[in-house]
């Protein structure tokens, strides 16, 4: 099922799954998983305490035992990330990290983001063409996050490259061992880099997100180690730019393919915040989100056993006609059911406000400075990743 045609356009497959049943057992995915394709089912699964986020051990179970042992450090470091924690530890870390994403901090980042957006467009203003992914959508959130975290300019490309290596593994159920080894090496490098930076900040605080995290952690009654804090920094960097890059690219492609909606947006820029939510619904960067059954229970008449994987299909849920009218149509004026793109419940994306600000600022500038943007080639290439949906490249002229 998860073949090249699915990567290019998963939505017909999602529709068949929704029409068939609200839950499906699928064997061709790791060691098997329950697929949940409906909006109601996904919304429920994301909030059900019987489903655990502690699932990093399943990332390496696809490999033979001797290779699994080689990846033990990878599994253990991943397990420290906020997204893979359950309460009460998740709650403790969430309180610490929330202190660094207050509305005032997000608002203070706006001038920096706006300046970067315009600088990226300026680089291509003379020739009036660019690869929107490589020249804009990749550097905007990546540079924003590494700047906020305080990564030195000379180290930024290396650090961003490490997150790319992790993403190559993270979204594929059957990655070659070489991809897993590269991701493990990248994660180790990121951990060491952030540990060093945190030690420096402890002696020499700066005006950056890393210092805020360190100070919030130091106020947390010693509930965690410096290694765990470094792991959270890796998680923030990864989540803070991979999915935002995809949202930017998917959003622009959606507008180009729907010129009447683009015209609406250009005629009324106040629609941009709602349009960004619609981009995230229409072609979600995060397509799948998995959990592990911690306590056996019945769902839609099927017995979910302890240890089994449940895959909430966010991309499918947001095309569910029972939740959204005419769901396969882009509508920048859409109102109704809340989007699930940033999750729901305790694991709602902690950086959602920052990501939204970046994308809203970007499309404000695109409307003003690139109003006639169009595809430079009809050939569209998607990243070969079933969890994260994004474009490899998007050559445009403007």
**Alpha carbons 319 and 326: distance in angstroms, whole number:** 8
pTM for the model stands at: 0.93
Joined tokens for residue 64 = 């033979």
Q: Is the predicted pLDDT of residue 50 greater than 80, yes or no?
A: yes
DSSP three-state, residue 392: strand
Please give the pLDDT value at position 170: 74
- Tens of pLDDT, residue by residue over 258-316, are 999 999 999 999 999 999 999 999 999 999 999 999 999 999 999 999 999 999 999 99
Q: What pLDDT was estimated at residue 192?
A: 95
Phi, psi of 26 (to 5 degrees): -125, 120
**Is the torsion defined by CA of 207, 138, 253, 335 positive or negative?**
negative
The domains of the chain, with CATH numbers, are 4-397 (1.10.630.10)
For residue 157, give Cα distances in angstroms to 40, 81, 136, 249: 41, 22, 14, 20
Q: pLDDT (tens digit, 9 = 90+) per residue, 126-177? A: 999 999 999 999 999 999 999 999 999 899 989 989 988 887 787 665 688 9
The predicted structure's pLDDT at residue 140: 96
Phi, psi of 2 (to 5 degrees): -85, 65
Closest of 92, 83, 20 to residue 237, by C-alpha: 83
If DSSP codes are grouped into helix, strand and coil, which group holds residue 367?
helix
Residue 286's SS3 state is: strand
- Per-residue model confidence (pLDDT) at position 172: 64
β-pairing, 51-52 vs 288-293, is: antiparallel
pLDDT of residue 221: 65
Structure tokens at 236: 């923030």
CA dist list (Å): 384 to 2, 318, 387: 10, 21, 9
Supply 77's token pair: 């470091």
The pLDDT value recorded for residue 393 is 96
Q: What is the per-residue pLDDT for 61? A: 79
Mean pLDDT for the chain?
93
**What pLDDT shows up at residue 39?**
98
Q: Please report the DSSP string for 234-252 in residue order.
A: HHHHHHHHHHHHHHHHHHH
What's the pLDDT at 158?
Answer: 94
pLDDT single digits (tens) 143-156: 999 999 999 989 99
pLDDT digits 0-9 by tens, 186-224: 999 999 999 999 999 999 999 999 999 998 888 876 678
Looking at residue 57, the DSSP 8-state letter turns out to be G
Which tokens go with 363?
Answer: 């499309």
In this prediction, residues 377-381 reach a mean pLDDT of 91
CA 207 to centroid of chain Cα atoms: 26
Residue 111: CB partners within 8 Å, gap ≥ 6?
none
Percent of the chain with pLDDT over 70: 98
Model confidence at 72: pLDDT above 90: no
Residue 82 DSSP class: G
- The pLDDT, as a whole number, for residue 254 is 98
* Cβ atoms within 10 Å of 360's Cβ, excluding its own: 19
Distance between CA atoms of residues 81 and 79, nearest Å: 6
Q: What is the pLDDT of residue 171?
A: 60
Alpha-carbon gap, residue 134 to 130, rounded angstroms: 8
C-alpha–C-alpha distance, residues 39 and 224, integer Å: 36
pLDDT at residue number 336 = 83
Tokens of 338: 């809340």
Q: What is the pLDDT of residue 173?
A: 58
């Amino acid at each position: 099922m998860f073949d090249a045609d699915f990567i290019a356009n998963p939505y017909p497959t999602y529709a068949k799954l929704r029409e068939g049943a609200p839950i499906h057992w699928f064997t061709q995915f790791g060691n098997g998983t329950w697929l949940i394709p409906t909006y109601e089912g996904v919304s429920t699964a994301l909030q059900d305490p019987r489903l655990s986020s502690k699932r990093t051990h399943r990332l390496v179970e696809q490999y033979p035992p001797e290779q699994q042992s080689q990846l033990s450090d990878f599994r253990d470091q991943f397990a420290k990330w906020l997204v893979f924690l359950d309460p009460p530890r998740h709650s403790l870390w969430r309180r610490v990290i929330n202190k660094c994403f207050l509305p005032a901090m997000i608002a203070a980042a706006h001038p920096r983001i706006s300046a970067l957006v315009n600088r990226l467009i300026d680089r291509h203003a003379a020739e009036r063409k660019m690869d929107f992914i490589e020249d804009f959508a990749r550097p905007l959130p990546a540079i924003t996050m590494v700047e906020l975290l305080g990564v030195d300019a000379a180290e930024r490309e290396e650090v961003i490259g490490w997150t790319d290596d992790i993403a190559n593994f993270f979204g594929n159920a059957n990655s070659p061992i070489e991809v897993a080894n590269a991701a493990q090496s990248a994660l180790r490098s990121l951990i060491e880099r952030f540990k060093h930076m945190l030690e420096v900040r402890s002696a020499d605080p700066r005006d950056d997100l890393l210092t805020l995290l360190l100070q919030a952690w130091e106020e947390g009654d010693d509930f965690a180690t410096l290694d765990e804090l470094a792991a959270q920094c890796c998680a923030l960097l990864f989540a803070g730019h991979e999915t935002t890059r995809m949202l930017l690219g998917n959003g622009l492609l959606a507008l180009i393919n729907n010129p009447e909606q683009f015209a609406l947006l250009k005629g009324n820029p106040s629609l941009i915040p709602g349009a960004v939510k619609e981009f995230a619904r229409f072609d979600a960067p995060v397509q799948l989100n998995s959990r592990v059954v911690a306590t056996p229970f019945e769902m839609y008449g099927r017995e979910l056993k302890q240890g089994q994987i449940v895959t909430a299909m966010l991309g499918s849920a947001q095309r569910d006609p029972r939740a959204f009218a005419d769901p396969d149509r882009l509508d920048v004026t859409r109102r109704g059911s809340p989007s699930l793109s940033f999750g729901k419940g305790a694991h709602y994306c902690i950086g959602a406000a920052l990501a939204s600000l970046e994308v809203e600022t970007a499309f404000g500038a695109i409307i003003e400075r690139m109003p006639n943007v169009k595809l430079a080639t009809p050939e569209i290439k998607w990243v070969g990743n079933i969890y994260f949906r994004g474009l490899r490249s998007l050559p445009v002229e403007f």
